[in-house]
Each structure stands twice: as C-alpha cells, then as structure tokens.
C-alpha cells in the first residue's frame, strides 16, 4: 500500500479524476491474517471492490507486481457488466504466478532490467495475446529514478484510451 510504485499509479489515477483505494493484503503491515498463496488475497481484492466500487460509475483496476496478478485474477471474477473501464498492470508477476489473459486494451508496463520479474517472462505471457508491453529501458522492478515517467506514462496511456 505504501510502495512508491503503487503510490505513483494512484497519483496518476487521481490526476485523471478517479478516487483511489490502496490497501494491504492479509498479513501485510497491520492487516489481519497471513499469506494465502493468492486465494485469500483475491478475497481481499473482491472485498475492497465490493466496499468501494460505485455501481454504474467507470473504474480502473490497477496493480503492481503481485498486485497486478491479483488485479488480473479479480477481473476474471467480475461479470460482464462489472468490468473495469481499464486495467493497468505494472511489473506484473508473470514468472511466479500463472497470469490469465487480459483484455487487449490493457496497459502493461515493465522495466527492462527488472530483477524480480524478468522482462522475458512478461513478454512470453503477452506474446500469445498480441498484447503490447511498454518497456522502460534500463529500469528495474521498483522504477527507481523513473517514477515521474511512470506516472506520466499511465496518464498518457489512459487518456489515449479515453479514460
């Protein structure tokens, strides 16, 4: 929740006029519970969506690293009339988790020099979907020194998609 990449993406969405919600998964920070290999964490995401999503209003579902995996999983749980206007995945955890396919208009951003999730893993996931991946040259998993560029890229990409 307090990760600088998560905060940067939230700021980009605020800049576009969205209300944002950041939260810790079970067992992180002062939250209750413990790590559940993604099962309970998906329940966490769905609970947050239930509590904060306003029916009839467009929303963006975004995540970083494991959070991107969780966002892609949550997308699978939503009915056709509950789908987000846009999905933003930054440094998605494509090596440690099995990411499902995502809509072709999704925004996927990855660092070329990511030492946590290799770029090749994300490209291997994206390739069969013909899904574009925006690559930040020379950038690692936490986008050190490139947060302003990350923010402006998210804003530009969503504006280009009419979000």
Minimum mean pLDDT among 18-22, 38-42, 142-146: which range? Answer: 38-42
pLDDT at position 56 is 83
> What pLDDT, in 10s, does the model give residues 68-107?
999 999 999 999 989 999 999 999 999 999 999 999 999 9
- Edge-first strand order for the sheet with 60-64 is 60-64, 86-90, 107-111, 134-136
The CATH code of the domain at 4-160 is: 3.40.50.1820
Q: Report pTM.
A: 0.94
Task: Tally helices (H) and strands (E) across the chain.
Answer: 5, 4
pLDDT (0 to 100) of residue 29? 67
- What is the predicted pLDDT for the residue at 26? 63
Confidence of residue 2 (pLDDT cuts 50, 70, 90): confident
Mean pLDDT (the chain) is: 93
**Separation in Å, CA 115 to CA 93, 118, 130:** 12, 6, 24
Residue for token digits 């309970």?
A: 40
């Amino acid at each position: 929740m307090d990760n600088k990449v998560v905060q940067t993406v939230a700021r980009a969405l605020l800049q576009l006029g969205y209300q944002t919600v950041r939260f810790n998964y079970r067992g992180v920070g002062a939250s209750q519970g413990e790590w559940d290999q993604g099962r309970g964490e998906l329940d966490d995401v769905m609970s947050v969506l239930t509590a904060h999503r306003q029916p009839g209003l467009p929303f963006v579902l975004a995540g970083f690293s494991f959070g991107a995996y969780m966002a892609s999983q949550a997308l699978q749980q939503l009915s056709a009339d509950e789908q987000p206007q846009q999905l933003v995945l930054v440094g998605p955890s494509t090596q440690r988790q099995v990411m499902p396919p995502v809509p072709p208009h999704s925004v996927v951003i990855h660092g070329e020099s990511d030492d946590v999730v290799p770029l090749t893993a994300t490209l291997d996931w994206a390739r069969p979907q013909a899904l574009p991946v925006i690559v930040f040259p020379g950038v690692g998993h936490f986008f050190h020194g490139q947060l302003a560029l990350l923010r402006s890229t998210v804003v530009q990409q969503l504006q280009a998609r009419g979000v």
